[in-house]
Copies of this chain bind each other. A is one copy, B any other.
């Protein structure tokens, strides 16, 4: 299951996506509208900025904004950024590979590994090619 942090991140990003091109949006506005604890959200947005998803502007009239249009922000990147691996085992992860502490089998030809590689492929297939724009509320004011 996704952590609260990742879920908050997604909702903050959709909020910013719905307001793309309207300049910086302050944390307080996102926190209020999406019911996210202010300070927790602050940490999340900082992380998303450091990982290159968001830009920010300090000072009066400052806030956060998407660096690229929602059509170009892959959902899977956001999940990986906040949550870590998509895979259920470290030994089948593409982006976070580690050998299995726990597994007694030799890796090439490990049959358990093969099963979880197929699961990962299937999960990833549903995620890849999907963008933030697809998660925006169609009823959100988009003038």
Q: Which residues of A contact B (CB under 8 A)?
A: 1-2, 4, 7-8, 10-11, 14, 33-36, 75, 79, 84-85, 87-90, 100-105, 111-112, 115, 118-119, 121-123, 125-127, 130, 134-138
- A1's partner among B36, B90, B121 (CB-CB below 8 A) is B90
**How many angstroms between the C-alpha atoms of A35 and B111 in the bound complex?**
18
Question: Contacts of A123 on B, CB cut-off 8 Å?
Answer: 119, 122-123, 126
**How many angstroms between the C-alpha atoms of A79 and B141 in the bound complex?**
42
**How many angstroms between the C-alpha atoms of A102 and B34 in the bound complex?**
9
Question: Contacts of A101 on B, CB cut-off 8 Å?
Answer: 4
Contact between A134 and B122 (Cβ–Cβ < 8 Å)? no
Contact between A89 and B137 (Cβ–Cβ < 8 Å)? no
- A11's partner among B36, B75, B102, B115 (CB-CB below 8 A) is B102
Question: Contacts of A118 on B, CB cut-off 8 Å?
Answer: 126
**How many angstroms between the C-alpha atoms of A134 and B115 in the bound complex?**
9
Question: Contacts of A33 on B, CB cut-off 8 Å?
Answer: 104
Contact between A89 and B126 (Cβ–Cβ < 8 Å)? no
Question: Contacts of A135 on B, CB cut-off 8 Å?
Answer: 111-112, 115
Question: Contacts of A127 on B, CB cut-off 8 Å?
Answer: 119
